[in-house]
Amino acid sequence: MITQKGQSIEDKSMEIIESEIGSHPYSQDEWTIVKRVIHSTADFDFARDNKIVFHKQAIKNATNALNKGCNIIVDVNGVVGLLNKDNLGKFGNNVICNISDDAVVAEAKRLNKTRAQTAMRMSVKEMDGAIVAIGNAPTALQEVIQMVKEGITRPALVVGIPVGFVCAAESKEELRSADIPYITNLGRKGGSPCASAILNALYIILKQKLSS
């Protein structure tokens, strides 16, 4: 639960973001998400050159899925640590992060794949109708896209915002052309704070819709 002092700092931060960005092309719900990412990173580039982009069904799919208690599958524990736990409890969403499981580690070594992509493949039974949030590992995003192409899973939304120099931008480009609702961004920037900020913002949008 945020304190009064904490809320005042957050409110002031949002005012600064609004004033520095000015006009923008985002819808109200999209802007709620973009602001949260900027707030978590202090990086205005997420509304500019490395801007966040949305599939037209992304927010609707995500809020409906969260409201129904969908799974949230993430690539690394860093995403888990930054999620609002009150929201998870309120809506009954189970967070799955298998990257450190012994079975995943062993299978990744056997197949000479990354633990992140192996963890996604081994979460296939939990992925239908889930939200998949990837903030760190481009290989995890590529694996999910491949699984969708194979027709073995259908997430409600893929948040694909991995950071890095090897395949990060390319994996996001591939996601934007995939047959799946997505929230992603352009270029190399991203990270676990971005992925968790997007999820937390989706809960804000959901609660606004339920109270209206």
Asked if residue 163 belongs to a domain, the reply is: yes
Beta strands in 50-190 (DSSP E): 52-54, 72-74, 95-96, 131-134, 157-160, 182-185
Q: What average pLDDT score do residues 151-174 get? A: 97
Total domain count, the chain = 1
Q: How confident is the model at residue 1 (pLDDT cuts 50, 70, 90)?
A: low
Asked if residue 3 belongs to a domain, the reply is: no
Q: Which residues are catalytic?
A: 39
More confident residue, 174 or 10: 174
5 has a pLDDT exceeding 80: no
Asked if residue 103 belongs to a domain, the reply is: yes
- What's the CA gap between 126 and 97, in Å, rounded? 11
Which structural domain, as residue segments, surrounds residue 179?
Answer: 54-211
Q: How confident is the model at residue 160 (pLDDT cuts 50, 70, 90)?
A: very high
Report the percentage of the chain scoring pLDDT > 90: 89
14 has a pLDDT exceeding 90: no
Identify the weakest region by mean pLDDT among 47-51, 130-134, 137-141, 182-186.
47-51
Q: What average pLDDT score do residues 28-56 get? A: 95
- What does the block give as tokens for 4? 């009064």
Pairing between β-strand 182-185 and β-strand 52-54 as defined by DSSP bridges? antiparallel
198 has a pLDDT exceeding 70: yes
| Assessment of whether the complete model's pTM goes beyond 0.85 | yes
Q: What is the mean pLDDT of the chain?
A: 95
Asked if residue 48 belongs to a domain, the reply is: no
Q: CATH code at 176? A: 3.40.50.10230
Write the pLDDT tens digit of every residue in 65-121: 999 999 999 999 999 999 999 999 999 999 999 999 999 999 999 999 999 999 999
> What's the pLDDT at 77?
94
Measured in degrees and rounded to the nearest 5, phi and psi for residue 63 equal -65, -40
CB atoms within 10 A of CB 89: 9
Asked if residue 128 belongs to a domain, the reply is: yes
